[in-house]
Chains A and B, each alone.
Chain A
Amino acid sequence: MIVAEQKPVKEIIESLEGFRRILIASCGTCVTVCMAGGEKEAVELKSLLDIWNKETGTENDINVVVPKRQCDVEFLDEIAVEAENADVILSMACGAGVQFMAERFPAKVVLPALNTKFMGVTRDVGLWTEMCQGCGNCILEKTGGVCPVTRCSKSNFNGPCGGSSGGKCEIDGNVDCGWQLIYDRLKALGRLDRLYEITDVRDWRTSRDGGPRKVEKKDMMV
């Protein structure tokens, strides 16, 4: 899922300065699971802002809505009335949701509450790690299910580099060397031969380097 982290509260408060009617919109999907922008966080943020307002004597009217997602327009339609009655919308969704919200309500200022980080998985309660970069050309078949683009700091295709030491990446002793993981996995599966051939240079056009992308499923379009 998409993993994000809440922005520092100070930054959020600064961006809300001057607005009176504030609508906080949480998102019930990815950012709920990674505990950054779900209903719980929205309520927490509102409680904090209420205290802040009381202390600073600010007159604010803060409401919370909890759409299931912000990346499908119907959920945004559901909050149209509340949006209409707000001066600013603080979206607690990922970057996609924030932008979609802004598109849906172009007359309103839409602000982000989160910094969107990566596509990742839950490792433990409270811990998420990056797994996929969305390069558009998946080669996991060759690398035993471990992605060299994402998990090698240098996106080496014929790795590792000489900085792999004790299974860790040279940049940080807490970061696994992606190629060590690839090696371990392929070796255990008896498929190390997948690495004997040189992987050729990549066509990065399938990635963001080729410009903003889209996916069309023609069989769904009439």
Chain B
Amino acid sequence: MTDNKSNLQRVLEAGHFSVSAEIGPPMSANADFVRKSARALLGYVDAANVTDNQTAIARMSSIAASYLALQEGVEPIVQMTCRDRNRLAIQSDLLGAYALGLRNLLCLSGDHQTFGNHPESKNVYDIDSIQLVRAMKRMKEEGVFINGKPSKQPAKFFLGAAAHPFADPPELQMIRLHKKVDAGAEFLQTQSIYDIERFSEWMEEVRKAGLHKRAYILAGVLVNKSLKSLEMTSMVAGIKVPEHLIERMRKTSDQQEEGLSIALELINGIRRIEGVAGIHIMAVGWESIVPTLIERAGLLPRPDMPGTEAVSSEEAIREGGKKDA
């Protein structure tokens, strides 16, 4: 049971085009908030990212919120950043996450804490995101901690990392992509794409290197509800919004509808590109639109993978308790 593959992994391995979205935990201990967010996505996604102190703002932890989402029947992708925890805390938290039945892990560097609401904090960065992927890969395959010592029941996550098709410097970012896959990343989520042509070019490089066959490329699409939202997105490092899209938002009389149209066009364009294995949908301040978007993009119904409901939290915990710690 504890070696069960996650739903996301099964969907991708079966050759389906995967759909994932995001759940942002609250800045409080409000469990119901998470449950509601999860319920809204039930049946619309194969898995959902549960962010980890995103933009360095202190929120309910990804692992705790993931567990709550799992209880609602939505499979979470746990996020772990390197900014806030040293290797002891990371390994400790991830063992706990696995014990709670969580199966997907996205390894990130994490936005620098100066961006967030606790800029005074010490930043940890004991290990970086690539080292984290490698560590969890070694734990999965060799059953060892970072110090090389074994764990009787190691965590065996489906491992993911972030990809940055438009960040600088391009040659080095490609080298890094290689390193992530070499380190053991099994899926890669890209930052939001707005420029299909440039993304196509990047995918060509990826295909030439055969990386798309070693890791599943999940393309990120962000749906904006307003011109302001789109303009703010274009200021984020690594995301390039072409001028013609901004023009469209400026000229339209119904910004929400336009935002939705743009997202749909992007999804359709991206799906056609060879090597893209799935789509990852983000919505800033407009989470409610995600189910509608998925539906209108013709991405329903989501595949029903046999055996996945078996990975319920209670069973996983029960199973885990049977073996030695």
Contact = CB atoms under 8 A, between A and B. Distances in A.
Asked whether A and B interact, the reply is: yes
Interface of A: 153-167, 170-172, 177, 179-180, 183-184, 187, 192, 195-196, 198-202, 204
B172 A179 contact: yes
Contacts of A166: 168
A136 to B, nearest CB: 15
Contacts of A155: 125, 128
Nearest to A166: B168
B195 interface: no
Given A162-B191, A167-B168, A195 B175 contact: yes
20 contacts: A156-B128, A157-B131, A158-B129, A158-B131, A158-B176, A159-B128, A160-B169, A164-B169, A171-B114, A177-B168, A180-B172, A184-B169, A187-B171, A192-B175, A196-B179, A198-B131, A199-B131, A201-B87, A201-B131, A201-B146
Interface in B70-115: 82-83, 87, 109-112, 114-115
Size band of the interface chain B makes with A:
35 or more
B167 A162 contact: yes
A183 B83 CA distance: 23
B238 interface: yes
A160 B112 CA distance: 13
B172 A165 contact: no
Given A154-B110, A171-B114, 17 more contacts: A154-B82, A155-B125, A157-B131, A158-B129, A160-B167, A163-B111, A163-B238, A166-B168, A170-B111, A170-B112, A170-B115, A171-B115, A180-B169, A187-B171, A196-B179, A198-B179, A201-B135
Given A195-B175, A196-B175, A198-B183, A165 B168 contact: yes
B172 A160 contact: yes
